[in-house]
Amino acid sequence: MASMNRYHQWLCNSRMWARAVEHDLLPWALDGISLGAETLEIGPGYGATTSVLARRDGVRLSVLEVDETSAQRLRARYGDRVDVLHGDGCAMPLPDGHFDAVVCFTMLHHVPSPQQQDQLFAEAFRVLRPGGLFAGCDGRAGLGFRLIHLRDTYVPLPPETLPPRLTTAGFRTPQITLRKDYFRFRTTRP
């Protein structure tokens, strides 16, 4: 993963991170929401979030990973339990209106520019069915978060800018919840 330094790669591929994702981050990010039958995860990276999502009952999970090597690793790990696609979240090789839910976790800050983040939001809107959910979480900018990302692609997304950006992409009533080091979001396609 060229957009991540070696320490960050190690951290995101560690058992410590996988446990934090399973027991804290995803339960908080997805609290009170249902994903629906067809769910797309954008940017699964090493698959810590995918591992948790793949165990949810009634969810057919597809993941879209920009890094080809990571996509190959995920295919080898999940076989046909998860549909692993190689592609860019800013130009998804997916049909319009196919998914009930689109999710992304701790990856938006790796999208190289605010304009490309906005393209990703527009693409998430495009591939969702009417009434579909777009949800996820990301880290909040701060010294510790910055230090983990030295020599990474690092474009933190200020959570207060997210509601108007999601509305511009077509979503309605975006909700943002803040925590010390993270924020979560959820919104729907009308």
**pLDDT band, residue 155 (cuts 50/70/90):** very high
Residue 1 has pLDDT above 70, yes or no: no
What single letter denotes the amino acid at residue 4? M
Sheet holding 38-42, edge to edge: 83-86, 60-65, 38-42, 99-105, 128-139, 182-188, 172-178
**What's the pLDDT at 105?**
98
**What's the pLDDT at 187?**
98
What single letter denotes the amino acid at residue 169? A
Over the chain, what is the mean pLDDT?
94
Cα 67 to its chain centre, rounded Å, is 14
**What's the pLDDT at 9?**
85
* Tens digits of residue pLDDT in 160-171: 999 999 999 999
* Tens digits of residue pLDDT in 123-153: 999 999 999 999 999 999 988 888 788 888 8
**What's the pLDDT at 5?**
80
Q: What is the mean pLDDT of residues 76-97?
A: 96
Q: What is the mean pLDDT of residues 59-72?
A: 96
Report residue 37: phi and psi, to 5°: -70, -40
Q: What tokens were used for 107?
A: 């990856």
By DSSP bridging, strand 128-139 and strand 182-188 are antiparallel
Q: What is the mean pLDDT of residues 54-64?
A: 94
Which one, of 164, 105, 101, 104, lies nearest residue 130 by Cα? 101
**What's the pLDDT at 3?**
73
Residue 2 has pLDDT above 70, yes or no: no
- DSSP-derived secondary structure letter, 22: I
Q: Please count the residues of the chain.
A: 190
Strand partners, 83: 62
